[in-house]
Structure 1
Amino acid sequence: MITTTDRLILRHFTEDDVDALFLMNSVPEVLTYIPMAPMTERAEAEKLLHEVIFEDYRRRGFGRWAVEHKASGKVIGFCGPKYLPEFDKVELGYRYLPEFWGQGIGSEAARAAINEFKPRLGIDETIALILDGNLGSMGVARHIGMEVLRRDTFMERDITIFHKWL
């Protein structure tokens, strides 16, 4: 376990989370502002878990964290750090299933996550890359004290880069 809040547990992903990863990456509504096609096979989630998430844990000592809803015991999204070599910075990224949008869960998890960055990981600066139009994610970034750093492009999409010193 990484940390907890009143409603959430942030923890490392495990093999048991493949179905949750598949779900959050197969719902088109969730991927509206994510530059990827929806997953269509569970094997894609297994590959993501092993070749990206677990590889980040091995290589960097950190990576995206599963967000588990205490009341249901289910993984409802992710929130956590990922090193982005294109920017030479650690990004705070987050994604949730639609039924949990608009409940303050994004801000709750993001605040808990960045509170762990410096003491647990030695990370003293973070960014968030947010695609144009993603007002929900921009709201989370602002709510946790991030400020607009600049406009840019990433994966051929226009983005706003938010920034925060920790």
Structure 2
Amino acid sequence: MIIAETERLILRRFTAEDKQAVFLLNSIPEILTYIPGEPMSSVTQAEQILNELVFPGYEKFGFGRWAVEHKADNKVIGFCGPTFVQEYNEVELGYRYLPDYWGTGIGFEAAQAALTKIPSFDIDHVIALILLGNRGSEALARKVGMTERERNTFMGHKVNVFHKSL
């Protein structure tokens, strides 16, 4: 199911066929510098994330992290989209991309597209939980109009909490 489309990207729901892409996004150490947890070591772990977190989120809330597919090469290069964060009782806009696409404007393009669709799920504001030191993610949050709300913790790590009313 396509959620949004831009000149270069398609934002859509993840499918079971995306397990390899999910594995890559969770196994490359460079990507995980500011992500809590250990890198994945098998595609089976990616299948587990899809089956136990992503797909149930779609069913329960109608939304969740969306696959970001690059039109030029027809592959999933990241994710961008909302997810409900129980610890904050709020919806977070999260994003992650393969390093080859960093610095190309893909993150901004996908986040802008996601933010235009999120209100259709009866969501009136989003947060971003960004580990301290992740300047790239903070810059993207600011670029899409989010402002820093507070410092807090998430999964045992200090985070800057950004906020945007929709």
Q: Report the TM range for the smaller structure's normalisation.
A: over 0.9
The within-5 A match list for 1:2-151 is 2-118=3-119, 120-151=120-151
1:83 maps to a residue whose letter is: F
Instruction: Compute the TM-score of the two structures, normalised by the length of structure 2.
Output: 0.98
| Separation in 2, partners of 1:23, 1:86 | 27
| Separation in 2, partners of 1:149, 1:18 | 34
2:8 maps to a residue whose letter is: R
Match of 2:165 in 1: 165
> Helix, strand or coil for the counterpart of 1:2?
strand
> Helix, strand or coil for the counterpart of 1:115?
helix
| Separation in 2, partners of 1:154, 1:117 | 23
2:149 maps to a residue whose letter is: L
Count of aligned pairs: 165
| Separation in 1, partners of 2:50, 2:86 | 19
2:117 maps to a residue whose letter is: E
1:110 to partner: Cα distance: 0.5
| Separation in 2, partners of 1:48, 1:156 | 20
1:88 to partner: Cα distance: 0.9
1:61 to partner: Cα distance: 1.1
